[in-house]
Structure 1
Amino acid sequence: MKHYRLVRRAALAGALALPILTSGCGLFTQEPSESIDPPQSSTQDVGGAIADVGQAANHAGETQMTVYLKDQNGMLAPVTVQIAMGEGEKAGKKALEMMVDGGAYNAELPEGFQAVIPKGTVIKDFNIVPDQKLAVVDFSKAFGEYNVTDERRIVESVTWTLTSMTDIQKVEIWMEGAKLGEMPVDGMPIDAPLTRSVGINLEAADGVNNYSQTTPVTLYFSALTPNNEMYYVPVTRLINRSDNRAKSAIEQLISGPSEGRELTAVMTPDVTVKNVTKKDNIVTVDLQDESFVPGQQEPAEMLQAIVLALTANTGAAKVQIKLNGQTDFTDTNNQSYSKPVSAPEHVNAFKS
């Protein structure tokens, strides 16, 4: 407890084998309104928005996009990159090209992160079906040449990267002009369009024995780059079935990362969740924290992780955080939480 409080006062500066789950018949089958971690289309709205997490600057002629890369611990994390877009280039195709291991953009990836699409892969075609919000990507034969341990990671990376774009909610994978019903090496089923319900960095909570009786929650913990820059790592954790997914997600956030994961907790274990409610596309979380001192800035890492988790698990556009019933506080980045805030459109933007 003392250790956690010391970390708190410092503003928190600082693989489980599961069965294959598919969007068509697996444990993550849900109604569309309950999809995991719907991307936020904009951070501009009344009531404020958290500034994009990171320090990357906007450069003339370049655009920001989010790609999911493997970190030094083997986990996928969103990374905001600056990239020049040529006339007529498609953002989705460009993002995938950046994710080819050893590809043309390898030198532009931040230290400590690696692309996961197999070496030599060419994105032969990329199209969006607008009325279905479906991205159809056709890879070359080299896409099927990877280690079996990377299969799920590749699916998750491609799916979460493309669905971070506002006009894409589903992904279909082809290879050499033919639609794939399963992944080439270990046969992971991908016959139905892929959504974020596939999960990311999948794990099960302690005490979970029957995976068919679980609720998936998406959590955000932190890690450090080789340059000691903090970044967020999303984790899909299977918990025993819950009728209040949002409240359960924050409780899991408080319980911290699983043992063996190279992740850091973003909340102290003495915080409790009184209630989580949703109304008019705003989710409100009421937290009890005995260490809360009015007028003292709260750790930005903690508050941002709460916002990321709640927008991920509820689909709400904004989050109102209450600490001991109060909203009149700021974080260590001077962000005010007196009004509901929206999640950043891009996270993990590292210094260039």
Structure 2
Amino acid sequence: MTHYRLFRRAALAGALALPILTTGCGLFSQEASQSIDPPQNSTQNVSGNAADNGTTAAVNQKDQTQMTVYLKDHNGLLAPVTVLASLGGAEKAGQKALELMVDGGSSAKEIPEGFQAIIPKGTTVKNFTIVPDQKLAVVDFSKSFAMYTAAEERQIVEAVTWTLTGMPGINKVDIWMEGKKLAQMPVNGLPMDGPLTRSVGINLQAADGVNYSQSTPVTLYFSAVTPNNESYYVPVTRLVNRSDNKAKSAIQQLINGPLVTDPLTAVITPDVVVKSVTKKNDIITVELQDNAYQEGQQEPAEMLQAVVLALTENTTATKVQIKLNGKTNIIDTNNQSYSEPVSRPEHVNAFKS
């Protein structure tokens, strides 16, 4: 039985070569794509914080900027995609990100194969401002923004919200059109009475047997594969029965895996047990039990990174300490040490050129 479980672990690791890190001849340099905080005695400079959720950053590399935008994948789900784009001296990163998300726009060549921009064709960003003391981004779209179908409405809201709230200093978003603030979306009337936050969720679904009146949302990260056979993370907001430990519920759902109807792949084998999840100050500690684990063996990087993504998404923690069978001396398949608490990956789904 132990050999079988170890085989399944190896198969999982091989199936999930997620491009959260790109090196060598990849699209981004190794420095910009380092995903997890190095040990404290390292000289590398990597950051992730609660203000920007660590999911989007603008890092100047010569004349280009690395940023993460949310696009529709070939399965019809939204996924974060880190792209490299030119940013002039007067351009704002948030506005540039939104322009990248316009279907058929001038930056269409930057969109990887298998992904599609979600904002309607012909849309322009007429104005983009940030209210620093409110951590609020205000975006004013042209009238072409309303040229979408009712079925696309929620995805557009989710994509705009998650892209902008992933940027430093932005926690909330107001959407305007032609100089007027929208109280609801123009096609199907999705209400927007107040500023949008990540509480709108993304790729919404419900767990089997959930009681909707007693439910709470948790955001999880599973895997999918591009037409070019590159794996990537897909966030899913799942309604689950309410619990006094939302973070623990999130990790349990991560272990439960995708719903049977999802075109997604699990990142953790189902025999892993979550024993506890506790938070102290800005560090959250998760204790996992896996009887197949042998001390010193490498754990799949994709599994550990998915745990970090889920815990920082569902709590205010900025760092995650992972314990496996009571030990913290964990090394992943990228030779990254998890002996100390780590921050959320700074860039997600940076595909190779």
Which residue type is aligned with residue 215 of structure 1?
Answer: T
Equivalences for 1:58-69 in 2 at 5 Å? 59-69=61-71
The equivalent residue for 1:118 is 120
For 1:252 and 1:12, the matched residues in 2 are separated by 22
Aligned 8 A contact 1:298 1:331 in 2: yes
Runs of 4+ in 1 over 4 A off after TM superposition: 1-5, 42-53
Which residue type is aligned with residue 148 of structure 1?
Answer: A
For 1:174 and 1:334, the matched residues in 2 are separated by 46
The equivalent residue for 1:89 is 91
Aligned 8 A contact 1:5 1:268 in 2: no
* CA displacement at 1:233 relative to structure 2: 0.5
For 1:330 and 1:50, the matched residues in 2 are separated by 20
* CA displacement at 1:192 relative to structure 2: 0.8
SS of the aligned residue for 2:286 comes to strand
SS of the aligned residue for 1:63 comes to strand
Which residue type is aligned with residue 247 of structure 2?
Answer: A
* CA displacement at 1:62 relative to structure 2: 1.2
Equivalences for 1:310-321 in 2 at 5 Å? 310-321=311-322
Q: Does 1:136 align with 2:153?
A: no
Which residue type is aligned with residue 108 of structure 1?
Answer: E
* CA displacement at 1:59 relative to structure 2: 4.6
SS of the aligned residue for 2:166 comes to coil
The equivalent residue for 1:298 is 299
For 1:290 and 1:345, the matched residues in 2 are separated by 31
* CA displacement at 1:60 relative to structure 2: 2.3
Q: Does 1:235 align with 2:236?
A: yes
Equivalences for 1:207-286 in 2 at 5 Å? 207-209=209-211, 211-286=212-287
Equivalences for 1:326-345 in 2 at 5 Å? 326-345=327-346
Cα separation, partners in 2 of 1:265 and 1:286, compared to 1, 3 Å:
same
Deviations 1:240-275 (A, max 9, x none): 011100111000000000111110000011110110
Deviations 1:164-223 (A, max 9, x none): 0011110001111111111111100012100000000000001113x2311111100011
SS of the aligned residue for 2:222 comes to strand
Which residue type is aligned with residue 260 of structure 1?
Answer: T
Aligned 8 A contact 2:38 2:337 in 1: no
For 1:295 and 1:45, the matched residues in 2 are separated by 19
Q: What is the root-mean-square deviation of aligned Cα atoms in Å?
A: 2.2
The equivalent residue for 2:200 is 198
Aligned 8 A contact 1:50 1:335 in 2: no
Gaps of 5+ in 2: 17-34, 49-53
For 2:166 and 2:343, the matched residues in 1 are separated by 15
SS of the aligned residue for 1:126 comes to strand
Cα separation, partners in 2 of 1:256 and 1:195, compared to 1, 3 Å:
same
Cα separation, partners in 2 of 1:164 and 1:326, compared to 1, 3 Å:
same
Report how many aligned residue pairs link the two structures.
321
For 2:173 and 2:4, the matched residues in 1 are separated by 43
Cα separation, partners in 2 of 1:274 and 1:43, compared to 1, 3 Å:
closer
For 2:109 and 2:155, the matched residues in 1 are separated by 21
* CA displacement at 1:348 relative to structure 2: 0.4
TM-score (norm 2): 0.86
Aligned 8 A contact 1:67 1:78 in 2: yes
Aligned 8 A contact 2:39 2:337 in 1: no
SS of the aligned residue for 2:343 comes to coil
Match of 2:179 among 152, 156, 177: 177
For 2:135 and 2:274, the matched residues in 1 are separated by 36
Which residue type is aligned with residue 62 of structure 2?
Answer: A
* CA displacement at 1:229 relative to structure 2: 1.1
SS of the aligned residue for 2:15 comes to coil
The equivalent residue for 2:25 is none
Aligned 8 A contact 1:220 1:309 in 2: yes
SS of the aligned residue for 2:342 comes to coil
The equivalent residue for 1:288 is 289
For 1:58 and 1:223, the matched residues in 2 are separated by 29
Equivalences for 1:35-74 in 2 at 5 Å? 47=40, 59-74=61-76
SS of the aligned residue for 1:310 comes to helix
SS of the aligned residue for 1:293 comes to coil
For 1:183 and 1:342, the matched residues in 2 are separated by 35
* CA displacement at 1:43 relative to structure 2: 6.6
For 2:183 and 2:156, the matched residues in 1 are separated by 15
For 2:236 and 2:95, the matched residues in 1 are separated by 25
For 1:169 and 1:86, the matched residues in 2 are separated by 24
